[in-house]
Amino acid sequence: MSSSAISPPGHLATAPRKSGSTGDRIFSGLCHGAGVFVLILLGAIIIELFIGGLPAFRAFGIGFVWGDNWDPVAEEFGAIVPIYGTIVTSVMALALAVPIAFGIAYFLTEIAPVPMRQPVGTAIELLAAVPSIIYGMWGFFVIVPVMAQYVQPALIDSIGELPLIGVLFAGPPFGTGIFTAALILAIMIIPFIAATMRDVFRTVPPVFKESAYGLGCTRWEVMWNIVIPYTRRSVVGGIMLGLGRALGETLAVTFVIGNANRIATSVFAPGNTIASLVALEFGEAEADSLKLSALLALGFILFVLSFIVLAISRFLLRPPAGQ
């Protein structure tokens, strides 16, 4: 480096530089420490969960992952029902949330009048800060009765009677169940996805869009042919972040999913997710019991699932090569 050539020699200039370099060393040491601490913490959690879950993995082998029996009385445990519930609710939530989040983001970056953009954007970010217990209680006391009294009876009596797709909408109208859980999850992840999308839509250089408009493109064509291709990676990454949150969400889901350890064909049937099952059963799981081990093994599986989702989102959100 040629910094010595620029800075004039003299103790007035060197003295602060010396103390500065000590400070730099301390600061860099602290930062390294913090970075390593996170790694150690992450590793410790994974290892601890795995060791805790080891008796369950030993007892049931790898079949624990796709066993469909959860019988605390006979001490037989399998993870596929909560794994299935976790993935189905999360994917359904994404299917509901992505179009709405996309609409919000596009509205805020392209259509909304400028004075309106900031307040609405802030409101979206505030929604992301609502604690999940609030969504859970709101879901249980407001959404579930509406689902039980109006939405589900209507759907069960109409679509539920049809052949083939009827089985998807059959059963008693509890109000709770996979579909309600997915609905609540969708509402919870919309702010995340919308905020990410809005931020990446803003990164599209105006000159691209203006050129397209200049050629006579409609808004939809600009969106589909300019904005989406330019931001595709980041949009998918944002969706994956939402998926990550949906996978691990506990309290809100526990309230509305119906908590049954069965796989049903109907979307109105109760189910369970990994996080919800662990939260519910933990208090009654005795020390050193196989049940406790099975719950920790479930925690490990959820960790791996979330890790995969996060890794994919990191991969997609990385800056494109050459920029």
Partner 1 sequence: MNRLAILLGVAVASIGLAVGAASAQQITGAGASFPNPVYQKWGEAAQKAIGLQLNYQSVGSGAGMTQARNRTVDFGASDAPMSPALLAEHKLLQFPTVMGSLVAIVNIPGVDDNQMKMTGELLADIYMGKITKWNDPRLVEMNRGLSLPNLAIAPVYRADGSGTTFVWVTYLSAVSPEWKDKVGVGTSVKWPAGTGARGNEGVAGTVRNTRGAIGYVENAYAVQNKLVSTQLRNRAGNFVIASHEAFLAAADNADWNAPNFAANLVDQQGAKSWPIVSPTFILLPMDPKDATRSANVMKFFDWAFANGNKLAEELEYIPLPKAVQDAVRATWKVNVKGPDGKPVM
Q: Does 5 bind partner 1 (CB under 8 A)?
A: no
Q: Does 238 bind partner 1 (CB under 8 A)?
A: no
Q: Which is closer to partner 1, CB of 69 or CB of 225? A: 69
Residue at token pair 């759907």: 155
Q: Does 176 bind partner 1 (CB under 8 A)?
A: yes
Residues comprising the chain, all counted:
323
Torsion sign over Cα 147, 152, 155, 159:
positive
Q: Which is closer to partner 1, CB of 25 or CB of 262? A: 262
Q: Does 158 bind partner 1 (CB under 8 A)?
A: no
Q: Does 250 bind partner 1 (CB under 8 A)?
A: no
Angstrom distance (rounded) from CA 88 to CA 182: 8
Q: Does 270 bind partner 1 (CB under 8 A)?
A: yes
Q: Does 166 bind partner 1 (CB under 8 A)?
A: no
- Residue (of 137, 138, 151, 135) closest to 185 by Cα position: 135
- Considering only residues 204, 260, 274, 275, which one is a binding residue for partner 1 as defined by CB under 8 A? 260
Residues touching partner 1: how many (CB under 8 A)? Answer: 39
Q: Does 287 bind partner 1 (CB under 8 A)?
A: yes
Q: Which is closer to partner 1, CB of 227 or CB of 294? A: 294
Residue at token pair 């992301």: 128
- Residue (of 205, 201, 148, 220) closest to 179 by Cα position: 148
Residues from 129 through 148 that contact partner 1 (CB under 8 A):
140-141, 144-145, 148
Alpha helices of the chain — where are they, by DSSP H?
3-6, 11-60, 80-106, 114-128, 132-138, 144-146, 152-158, 178-202, 206-214, 219-222, 228-248, 251-256, 274-281, 290-317
Residues from 59 through 78 that contact partner 1 (CB under 8 A):
69-74
Q: Given the rule CB under 8 A, which residues bind partner 1?
A: 52, 69-74, 140-141, 144-145, 148-149, 171-177, 254-255, 258-261, 270, 272, 280-281, 283-288, 292-293, 296
